Structure 1
Amino acid sequence: MRDDGTLDDKPDPDAVADRSDATLSSERSPTTIASGARLGGRRNSLADLIRTRSGWLRDLPTPNGSAARPAAAGGPGERVGPAGRGRRAGAVVAVGVVCCLALAALAQARQEAADTGRAGALAADAGLDRRAAAEVAARSLERAPAPTVSPSAPPGSPSATASPSATASPSVTATPSAARKRTAPKRPAGPAPVAGLTKAQMANAKVIVRTGRELGFPRRGLVIAVATAMQESNLYNLASGVLPESQEYPHQGVGWDHDSVGLFQQRASSGWGEVGQLMDPEFATRQFLTALAEIPGWEELPLTVAAQSVQISAYPDLYAQHEWRAAEVVDAFLSAGM
C-alpha cells in the first residue's frame, strides 16, 4: 500500500508481452546478430542499455509524482486512469530515444566502413604510383649509356673509375662546321700560270673569266676581255698617278694615262663608275662586258674591232697582238672547270 492509501497494482505476468524486448533470443534473425557484431563495442553498450530499460522505465516519474511501474493490460471495459496513461507516454518516449540512438549508431558504423573503404582505395592507388615510379626508374637505368673507361688507365686508379656523366671526348664529336667542311665541294685551285703570266696576272685573269661565265658570255667574249686587259694594264690592277684617291684602294702598280684606273683603265670622269668601284677587278669586268654586249654583232667582229668599239683607244690595232695569249689563258681556266 502506498503512502496515499492507494493499493499497489498487482504485477501481471502478461505485462511482459508489452515490452519491446520481449522477443526470444531464438527468434532473432541472423541479420540482426551480424549487424550487432559490426557495430562492435558501441552496439554492445546499446544492447545493455536496451536490456536494462525495463529498470529505468520503472523509475520514470509519473504525473502524480510516484515512480512508474509496469501495469497489467486492462481488460475489456477496464478504464485506464491518469497514472496508466502517464506510464504509457513515458514508455513511448523511451522507445523513441532508444530508436534514435540505434539509428545514430548504425549511421556512424556505416560512415566508418565507408572511411575504411576510401582509405583502402587510397592505399592501393599509392601502391600503384610507387610501382609505376619504380618501373620508370628501372627503364631509365636500362637506357642510360654505359660509362666509358680510358683503356690506358690502370685498374683501381681514379681515372679508371667510370662516372655517370662520362661522355665521348669533344675532339671525337663532329661539329656542324666540321661536317660542312668535309662535305663542301672543293673549289678548283686554278691552273698554273700560262702564256708567260705571273701568279698575280693569272689571278686577275681568273676574275675576268669567272665574272664573264656568271654573266653568261661565251668563250669569244672572255678572250676579248682578257686581251683588252692585257693591252690596257698588262693584267695588273693599276691606280692613277694623277688621281691620288685611286691609290687609297688595293692596287698592283701606278699608271699615268690621265685618270684611267683598274684592269681596263676606265675613267671615272667618262662615266664608267666611281673610283673605288673601278678599282675592283670584278666591277670593272662587268662594266666592260656590259658595254661589249651592246655592240651589234660583236661575236662576229675581229677582236681588235670589238675591243676598240668599247675602249675608244688612240691605238686600236694593238689589241690583236694579245689574242693568242688570251685564248691560251681562257682555255686553261675552262679546262680546269672554272
Structure 2
Amino acid sequence: MLLRRKFLQQSLLGSLGVLIGKEQLRASPVGGKLGKASGPVVISTWAPNAKANAAAWQVLAANGRALDALEKGIHVTEADPTDQSVGYGGLPDRDGKVTVDSCVMDEWGNCGAVMCLEHILHPVSVARLVMERTPHVQLVGEGALKFALEQGFSKTNLLTPEAEKAWRNWLKTSRYDPMITVEHLEERNKKNKKKPGQQHDHDTIGMLALDSNGNLSGACSTSGMAFKMNGRVGDSPIIGAGLFVDNEVGAATATGVGEEIVRICGSHTIVEMMRAGHSPEEACKKAVERIVKRNGLQKAKEIQAGFIAINKQGEVGAYSLIDGFNYAVHTESGPYTKNAKFLI
C-alpha cells in the first residue's frame, strides 16, 4: 500500500512537472531561453506616436509590465492638445461634444473598455479600472463618467479653442452626414497631396507591447471620427475589432474607419492568422484583403484602414488598405518609424 501510494505521488508530481513545463514554454517566446523574452518591444499606430512609445519604453526598460508601459505611453497622446484625434484637443462630434473611447487587454485575457465618455482626460486609465475593479468589460456614456468620477478622476474640458474652431468651420458647410469626415479627408488629401493619418489628420492611437517577461498587452484610445453623430462608437474600444491580445500567439490593433474594422473583427482575425502560422505582416495583409473583398475594389479605395501586430517572438508587422499609413516601434536597439505596405 505504501509503495503504491509513493508511486502515485511520484506520478502526480511528474505530471505536474510536465504541465508546469508546458506552461513555461507557452509563456516564453519561441527561440528565447525558457521563461525569458528575447527583449521588450512596443509598437504604436502612426509615426508621431514615437513620443508615446518613448514613455512606454521607460517602463519596459525597467523590466516593467507591458500593460503599465502602454498606459503611461498612451497618457502622452491623450494629453497632447496638438493631436486632434485622441483625448484633449480631439475633434468633437457634430454637436460639439468631445467623446472618447478606449480599451485595454492584458496577458491573462482580461479586458476593459469605455465608450462615448465625456470630460475625462485619460480614458485608457478608466478602461483599465473597468477591467480591474468591476465584473464588466464595457461601460458607456453617463455610466462610464459616473464610474470615472467615483474612482477619483476629475472633469476636464477636452474641447480646445483650435478644435472648437475646426468644428464651427465645419458647421458652415456641413450636411450632417456622419461619414462626411472621411469624404472631407479624402478631398483635402487629394488637394494638398497629403496622405491619410499624418500628424494633422484625424485618427487613433493603438499600442502593443511585449515585456521582458515575455508577456503581451494592448491598449487603444481615440476621440473617434471627427464630427460624427453623437453616440457613435467605432472599433477602437471594441475587443476583437480595434484590439485583441492572446498571450500564447500575439496581439493586434487597428486604425482607420472603425465601421469597416468592426465588420471583419479585424484584430481578432489577425491574431488567428498568426496562430495559423502567418507572420504579423502577412496576418495584417489578410485582414486588409477581407475589407477589399467585402467592399469591392472601387469602394475600398476610399476607405482608410490599417493594422499593426506583434507575435510572441517579438516580430512586428503592419499593413494598410491605401498608401500613407506609418507606425512607430521601440526596441532595445532604439526607436524607429516605418511606412506600412499597402494593398491598393
TM value normalised by structure 2: 0.24
Greater share of helix: 1
Instruction: Flag the structure with larger Rg.
Output: 1
TM value normalised by structure 1: 0.24
